[in-house]
Structure 1
Amino acid sequence: MAVKVLFLGPLSDLFDTAEMSLPAPLSWGQLLEAVPRTVAEQLQGERIHVACQGHVLPDKTALVALDGQEIALLPPVSGG
């Protein structure tokens, strides 16, 4: 029973990995506890969004991911 967590863009550089697997079910608090403190601080910022199963959550703190689901951690996008 696991949840796949994807770290996109600069978050993967900060964490030094693009993905990890965590036990299901997974809450927002459990996610923050599972990553290094520096990553957890970034994730709590207003500009980081969370998608579960391809849908961006309006309130990332309400995250509850079940077995087999995929979570994507989305940093701000810039471009020109």
Structure 2
Amino acid sequence: MPRLVFLGKLEDIAGTAELTVAPGPVEQILATLDRALAIELLGEKVRMALNGSLITDMGGVTLREGDELAFLPPVSGG
């Protein structure tokens, strides 16, 4: 099964570090999530990595068995 991985504050919002989902188009998978979480994941500054490689657009991305889609929130520091 594909996994969604939530890092930083996104883990707090999701209430878990990762979530196993059914294979399919990312847009359809996000539509099944809690609305508040989906809105955060689609935020302008959230980056995504599919199987360790950054992607700039999830349009047309379909998760398959064993895939990992990580959501990376903006990082702040000094």
| TM-score past 0.5 threshold | yes
Give the helix-richer structure, 1 or 2: 1
Q: 1 CA distance for matches of 2:6 and 2:21?
A: 13
TM-score, with length taken from structure 2: 0.89
Q: 2:67 aligns with which of 66, 69, 76?
A: 69
Aligned residues: 78
Shift of 1:51: 0.7
1:46-78 residue CA offsets vs partner (Å, 9 max, x unmatched): 111111000011212332221111110111111
* Structure 1: gaps spanning 5 or more residues: none
* Structure 2: gaps spanning 5 or more residues: none
Q: 1 CA distance for matches of 2:43 and 2:62?
A: 19
Identity level (%): 36
Q: 1 CA distance for matches of 2:47 and 2:14?
A: 16
Give 4+ residue runs of structure 1 displaced > 2 Å after superposition.
60-63
Q: Aligned-residue CA RMSD in angstroms?
A: 1.2
